Structure 1
């Protein structure tokens, strides 16, 4: 008697609502998952798609996927474990679920692998936080004012002319952008490729925007254009 076809429950994740609506990032994950399932002659029991930040520990779609996999005897199938390897909460949830899993990009991964990755992820998060604080402290020591130093309102009160105002504000913005360059380059290397994802991560790290508030898509766009002298 031939072995029964394997059963998979697919789990996909994108970090922003825009990516979820556009399919950006989902198409590659879905193709990897579907190609793997087809190569095994597997039955796809269900597919769950999470749209939220990778930093969040509360993942309702993941919990539903794990529950369904458990009660149906299916294997959880994800496209890329390495893309999620910095998130300790995800890794620990996966390890402790008792559900079999396969990552298409790392099919040899097991509970031990995931447990080690979770420890590394937690250490990396702490290292990132430390590097961010050190970068901001170094910028402050160089005299960079993190906030809105000598802004337009202050210059107007001092009676400065329009040319001096524009020059000073532009110089302040350049200094501020340069102070954040190491952080931005690190985020880009870590896969934060959308304006919204960068804004969310800067806010999560407690980095203030130039006017002292939270980061938004528009403020990140301005920062990147100033740093890399190109439209984003």
Structure 2
């Protein structure tokens, strides 16, 4: 997509808290979008950072970034298309909206290319899910105990609920 605005809003995202804590993925994306923006003469007016799975539709920082783009008539700049979403429907909807965006890894992509790349990203997300499920099933067969060893104990912290069940029930 062409960059019509001289203002940019950047959006960087990683999927897990551990990736967010390390900061490496965020720093790499931030560097890519800043380098691109300075190379084409864009002024970054805001940055939005999110640590959230790309599968989730409710990503508050992405929503805020898109709102900022609309408000300031700015271009949304992302490092890679799959950081935005791995969903053809979402990318297609964004392409139809009034929000201009550019993926730094393919800044001259046309609508056909964006649709194809979104389809590939969606396919890869499904493949990752299948590989993960297969690996967890194999681990379970080997006797690896899956899940949180403390169960839902952390959800009870600060909870002031009296048990409803009586020990006198037989």
* Normalised TM-score (structure 2): 0.66
Q: Which residue of 2 aligns with 1:70?
A: 70
Whole-Å separation in 2 of the counterparts to 1:123 and 1:52:
19
- Classify the secondary structure of the residue corresponding to 1:20: helix
Q: Could you say if the C-alpha distance between residues 80 and 120 of structure 1 is closer, same or farther in structure 2, counting changes exceeding 3 Å?
A: closer
Gap runs ≥5 in structure 1? 149-171, 174-209, 217-232
- Classify the secondary structure of the residue corresponding to 1:25: helix
Q: Cα RMSD over matched residues?
A: 3.3
Deviations 1:55-100 (A, max 9, x none): 212111111111111221111101122x448710653453343211
Q: Does the Cα contact within 8 Å between 2:54 and 2:84 map onto a contact in 1? A: no
Q: Does the Cα contact within 8 Å between 1:33 and 1:77 map onto a contact in 2? A: yes
Deviations 1:138-171 (A, max 9, x none): x8xxxx8x746xxxxxxxxxxxxxxxxxxxxxxx
Whole-Å separation in 2 of the counterparts to 1:16 and 1:131:
18
Gap runs ≥5 in structure 2? 150-170
Q: Which residue of 2 aligns with 1:19?
A: 19
Whole-Å separation in 2 of the counterparts to 1:19 and 1:128:
17
The structure with the larger Rg is 1
Q: Does the Cα contact within 8 Å between 1:7 and 1:43 map onto a contact in 2? A: yes
Q: What is the number of residues matched between the two proteins?
A: 144
Q: Which residue of 1 aligns with 2:86?
A: 87
Q: Could you say if the C-alpha distance between residues 9 and 21 of structure 1 is closer, same or farther in structure 2, counting changes exceeding 3 Å?
A: same
* Normalised TM-score (structure 1): 0.51
Higher helix share: 1
Offset at residue 48 of structure 1 (A): 0.6
